[in-house]
């Protein structure tokens, strides 16, 4: 595994060219029961197999021996969560560095995170460019691949800023890439998603759940437009473009908000009615520590479970204590918004009461001496529950810590409604219409059932608290998606990421600098790509 960890994008491409680029001129041996690039991609089945490979990296929670969860990064980097871990404050040091803004270009997670997405792009490009057959099925597979290529480029941008756009199958001579501009990145994402929207179906069969749909592409395009607008001087036309895409999702009448917010995060809930795009996980593959990228479970479930938990808890088993909610997050919830808070965060008192209620024989409910004394504030996240029901689900063997099959919400319908409200408001549209979409989310947040006339509307929040409509939207996004990975990226795109966010946390407040808005591209990459800068400069955002 040590050799694998040192592979960079250059090495990946070289291996790809060696594998896919052989010909009879170089290798005068007929392959036996093997396929090369010139005799593959000739049937629908072969192209579909390549598409499955292109989907695969989207679900990696580990890569090359490191945790690479976008959910964890979006929370731990922000004011919502601390890294956590054991008592040494050096458990998973790369994540401790992200938490404290101490990372450099040698941080061990940077390269796996970067490489994971470029592997996805490389595989998507194979599906887009290599097929030697024309058929309706291949047209669909290529549309899905374009969605995936856009998705991977967007994830790279969110972490690293404007990155090299790759739309062809590269060879080693193409390796000295340089950063593309903001416009080049988002124009590519836009074109890929518009192409995909023209072909993708509105829905898929029950046996194909997890494959992308037209609505997923429209929602991702709308989200990309919002980011593009934010980094393009709050461009109202781009916000209007976003609103158009989100309206199409709403008008499809496919999605509804689940009545009970908390049920979204219970054991076994997969692809509910408000799931627009969801990353599928499975417990059927015998995953183990010898093949990190091969795990089909969600390794983050164990990673972010309650550290030191008594085995008598009625619902949860012990975990490793990462992604610990901050007091700032807990205190940010309004007094009449406790239902969402309770679904996102657990306290020491709550867990102790649950264990005492079952007549536990444990000496203590939670051994707090196992937790990171700097990061632990008395709370654990609850949306990635490490349920006892996961025990025994790895029926085909493998490590039970890696085979927990909780899916990952990528885009929920609530996200579509709140982004639609933001896009309408920021494109100088009807604030009354925008508030209607916000209030759909707020009504559900109050609890199950019909809460009309009970919950405070967005208009009432503005009147009671003196908030602007945009401040209501920011509050709703933080409360609705706490512990789901959007917080840091929302802060960066809106220009709200600053040292002031971390007042009361002397390490983060002191360490935060302008470069910390983006992760540096790793030393492994910039060493071989001489024109690739560690950080994006201002000229790339013009």
Q: If you search the block for the tokens 């085909």, which residue do you land on?
A: 396
Q: Would 477 be classed as within a structural domain?
A: no
Q: Minimal CA–CA distance to 423: which of 254, 195, 235, 257?
A: 235
Question: Which range, 23-27, 28-32, 414-418, is most confident?
Answer: 414-418
User: Which tokens sit at 510?
Assistant: 């002191």
pLDDT reported for residue 37: 66
Residue 361: pLDDT band by 50, 70, 90 thresholds?
A: confident
pLDDT band with cut points at 50, 70 and 90 for residue 30: low
DSSP at 238: H
Asked if the structure places residue 519 within a domain, the reply is yes
Looking at the 3D structure of the chain, how many domains does it have? 1
What six digits make up the tokens of 376? 């632990």
d(CA 384, CA 23): 48
Share of the chain above pLDDT 70, in %: 93
Section 106-132 average pLDDT: 96
Q: How high is the pLDDT of residue 13?
A: 40
Report pLDDT for 291: 73
Instruction: Give the pLDDT confidence of 58-88 residue by residue, as tens digits.
Output: 999 999 889 999 999 999 999 999 999 999 8
- Residue 527 in any domain: the answer is yes
Structure tokens at 272: 């509910």
Q: Is 163 a member of any domain?
A: yes
How high is the pLDDT of residue 2? Answer: 33
Judge whether 429 lies within some domain.
no
Residue 332 lies inside a defined structural domain of this protein: no
* pLDDT class of 12 with cuts at 50, 70, 90: very low
Domain housing 230: 2-253+484-541
Q: Which residue has the higher pLDDT, 265 or 392?
A: 265
Asked whether residue 162 is assigned to any structural domain, the reply reads yes
Largest CA distance in the chain: 79
Report the range of poorest mean pLDDT among 9-23, 78-92, 135-149, 284-298: 9-23
Is 363 contained in some domain?
no
pLDDT surpasses 90 at 426: yes
Can you tell me the mean pLDDT for 341-356?
A: 94
DSSP 8-class letter at 456? P
Q: Residue 247's domain is classified under what CATH number?
A: 1.25.40.390
Q: Render pLDDT for 179-197 as a digit per residue (tens, 0 to 9).
A: 999 999 999 999 999 999 9
Q: How far apart are CA 24 and CA 429, in angstroms?
A: 61
Strands 66-67 and 62-63: antiparallel
Residue 100 scores a pLDDT above 90? yes
């Amino acid at each position: 595994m040590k050799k694998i960890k040192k592979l960079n994008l250059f090495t990946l491409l070289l291996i790809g060219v060696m594998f896919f680029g052989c010909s009879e001129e170089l290798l005068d041996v007929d392959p036996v029961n093997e396929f090369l690039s010139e005799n593959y991609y000739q049937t629908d089945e072969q192209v579909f197999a390549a598409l499955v490979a292109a989907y695969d990296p989207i679900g990696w929670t580990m890569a090359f021996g490191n945790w690479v969860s976008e959910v964890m990064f979006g929370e731990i980097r922000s004011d919502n969560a601390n890294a956590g871990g054991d008592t040494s404050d050096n458990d998973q040091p790369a994540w401790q560095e992200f938490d404290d803004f101490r990372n450099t270009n040698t941080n061990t997670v940077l390269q796996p995170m970067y490489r994971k997405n470029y592997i996805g792009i490389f595989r998507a490009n194979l599906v887009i460019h290599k097929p030697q057959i024309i058929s309706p099925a291949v047209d669909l597979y290529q549309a899905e691949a374009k969605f995936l290529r856009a998705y991977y480029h967007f994830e790279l941008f969110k972490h690293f800023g404007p990155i090299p756009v790759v739309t062809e199958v590269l060879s080693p001579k193409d390796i000295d890439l340089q950063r593309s501009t903001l416009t080049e990145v988002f124009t590519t994402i836009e074109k890929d998603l518009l192409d995909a929207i023209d072909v993708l179906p509105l829905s898929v069969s029950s046996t194909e759940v997890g494959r992308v749909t037209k609505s997923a592409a429209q929602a991702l395009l709308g989200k990309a437009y919002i980011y593009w607008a934010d980094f393009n001087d709050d461009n109202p036309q781009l916000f209007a473009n976003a609103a158009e895409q989100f309206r199409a999702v709403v008008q499809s009448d496919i999605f509804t908000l689940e009545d009970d917010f908390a049920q979204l995060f219970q054991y076994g809930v997969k692809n509910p009615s408000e799931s627009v795009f969801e990353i599928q996980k499975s417990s059927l593959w015998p995953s183990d520590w010898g093949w990190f990228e091969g795990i089909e479970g969600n390794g983050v479930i164990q990673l972010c479970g309650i550290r030191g938990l008594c085995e008598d808890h009625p619902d949860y088993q012990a975990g490793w204590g990462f992604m610990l909610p901050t007091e700032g997050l807990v205190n940010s919830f309004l007094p009449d918004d406790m239902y969402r808070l309770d679904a996102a965060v657990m306290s020491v008192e709550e867990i102790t009461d649950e264990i005492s209620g079952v007549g536990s024989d444990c000496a203590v409910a939670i051994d707090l001496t196992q937790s990171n004394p700097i990061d632990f504030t008395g709370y654990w996240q609850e949306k990635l529950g490490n349920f006892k029901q996961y025990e025994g689900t790895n029926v085909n063997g493998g490590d039970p810590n890696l085979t927990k099959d909780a899916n990952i919400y990528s885009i929920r319908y609530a996200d579509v409604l709140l982004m639609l409200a933001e896009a309408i408001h920021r494109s100088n549209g009807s604030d009354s219409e925008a508030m209607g979409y916000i209030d759909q989310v707020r009504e559900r947040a109050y609890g199950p059932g019909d809460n009309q006339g009970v919950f405070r509307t967005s208009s009432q929040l503005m009147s009671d608290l003196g908030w602007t409509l945009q401040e209501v939207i920011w509050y709703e996004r933080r409360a609705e998606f706490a512990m789901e990975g959007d917080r840091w990226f929302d802060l960066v795109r809106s220009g709200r990421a600053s040292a002031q966010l971390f007042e009361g946390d002397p390490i983060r407040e002191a360490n935060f600098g302008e470069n910390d808005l983006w992760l540096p591209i790793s030393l492994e990459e910039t060493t071989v790509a001489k024109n690739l800068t560690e950080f994006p400069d201002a000229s790339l955002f013009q």
